[in-house]
Structure 1
Amino acid sequence: MLKDIDAVLFDLDGSLVDSMGIWKEIDIAYLGRYNIPLPEGLQGEIEGMSFSETACYFKEKFCLPEDVEQIKKDWNDMAWDKYTHQVPLKDGAREFVEYCRENGIRLGIATSNSRLLVENVMGVHGILDYFDTIVTGCDVERGKPSPDVYLEAARQCKVIPERCLVFEDIIPGIMAGKAAGMKVCAVADEYSRHQEQEKKQLSDYFITDYLDIMKGL
């Protein structure tokens, strides 16, 4: 998997950390402020959107009175404690990140989440300094499944796309990595279990967790 790879780029939620279920809880609580029930299928509709794109989507869909920046601030505030205390790394992730670092492979995060929460959770787990770059969907023109966030992460890592390996848990993210011309490893996650077969078909590799990789190194 790591042959001819100079940079490993991770999506964050569901790929490097177990956090996908938390966002459903936040959506329920946030919409509950306006007595709006969580619509069926909402998570699927916003998959891959950047933090800003999602806030715009919520404002328009639910006719929210707050501006986009306030919506994002509210979400960051609601998620801060959860990311600090309730979001673990995927099994084997720390060991794999350390292995990459020790073997000269550059590391990047390419996420739809906010930079504030990325830095929070990475700092809590003591791995923030291992990464050469963090790129969010708000840093580029288009969110996933467009390749922008992965291409920018590769550029900042000073590595050509063909020598990058992406770890992703959702279909729009897998599509983004492939559209960027990169190898993609799909990561199992409870949130996307119903899409597991499609994830396997779209990606180059599939792992249950990072222990699968460490066993072969």
Structure 2
Amino acid sequence: MFSLDTTDTWAPHCAVFDCDGVLLDSETLWNDVQIELFDHYDVTVTKELETSLIGSAAEDLAKVITRLSPQAQGKEDFYDQVLAHVKSTELEILDRGVVPIPGALDFIKKLAAHIPVAVASNSSGELLAVKMQKFGYADIVTTWVSSSDVPSPKPSPDIYLEAVRRLGFSPEQALTVEDSVTGMMAATGAGTRCLIFTPETPEQKELLTAGIGRFDSFKDADLLAQVDRWLASKA
């Protein structure tokens, strides 16, 4: 279902999309892998901990494991070891069932035919480049921005500010699409108009209260009709 919380005449001049959970169906698999990592490092998992890490960068996960793992005691390089482990695992899961979100690729193509489109992700530069190439987005989007490209990852607005800058527009001219609280904070903090791709987890749905609207499918007829109206207003 698509809903829009604004009736003004605004239309996007560019668009920036999150990657995992928006363009790629990887969040559920990554959550399972996080639990495996927590178990490996003897970290007790709580629902609050899982929810807080949705949309986070590899560095954030490594910091949490380092802070909570009893294995870290007396090991000065423990964080570096964990971070390397997390990053290698991120690359491995791309071959463990990750696929594009249904309709996302065609939706990006539709927008990119009229306005420039970017991807902004908390993935590392190496990992995001692999995702863009592997799943067919590299030839469609104008640019992509990773956590490696900015001083601070989401929820800092840096990634979205850099993406919009590369596209040549101001934040208030940008439509962004996010599925997590971490990403929503980054997108709205940057001053963009954020559309929420509603995730399946009830915890996230309750927290995603900002943004200009919500949708749960890129194939939603009302969403596609709204995009047509936005694009027609710029013709």
**Do 2:41 and 2:69's aligned partners in 1 also have CA atoms closer than 8 Å?**
no
CA distance in 2, matches of 1:108, 1:71: 30
> Shift of residue 163 of structure 1?
0.8
* Counterpart in the other structure of 2:153: 143
- Relative to structure 1, the CA distance from residue 198 to residue 38 in structure 2 (aligned partners, 3 Å threshold; closer, same or farther) is closer
* Counterpart in the other structure of 1:130: 140
* Counterpart in the other structure of 1:194: 203
CA distance in 1, matches of 2:42, 2:155: 32
TM-score (norm 1): 0.85
Q: 1:94 aligns with which of 87, 105, 108?
A: 105
SS in 1 for 2:194: strand
Q: 1:72 aligns with which of 83, 99, 106?
A: 83
* Counterpart in the other structure of 1:206: 214
**Runs of 5+ unmatched residues, structure 2:** 229-235
**Do 2:125 and 2:149's aligned partners in 1 also have CA atoms closer than 8 Å?**
no
Q: CA RMSD in A?
A: 2.4
| Residue identity in the other structure for 1:119 | A
Q: 2:168 aligns with which of 143, 154, 158?
A: 158
**Do 1:84 and 1:121's aligned partners in 2 also have CA atoms closer than 8 Å?**
no
TM-score (norm 2): 0.80
- Relative to structure 1, the CA distance from residue 138 to residue 46 in structure 2 (aligned partners, 3 Å threshold; closer, same or farther) is farther
Q: Which runs of 4+ in 1 moved over 4 A?
A: none
* Counterpart in the other structure of 1:17: 24
Identity across matched positions, percent? 24
CA distance in 1, matches of 2:45, 2:207: 26
**Runs of 5+ unmatched residues, structure 1:** none
- Relative to structure 1, the CA distance from residue 149 to residue 86 in structure 2 (aligned partners, 3 Å threshold; closer, same or farther) is same
Q: 1:42 aligns with which of 22, 28, 49?
A: 49
1:56 to 2:66 alignment: no
Q: What do residues 68-94 of structure 1 show as CA deviations (whole Å, max 9, x unaligned)?
A: 443233223223232234112222111
> Shift of residue 177 of structure 1?
1.1
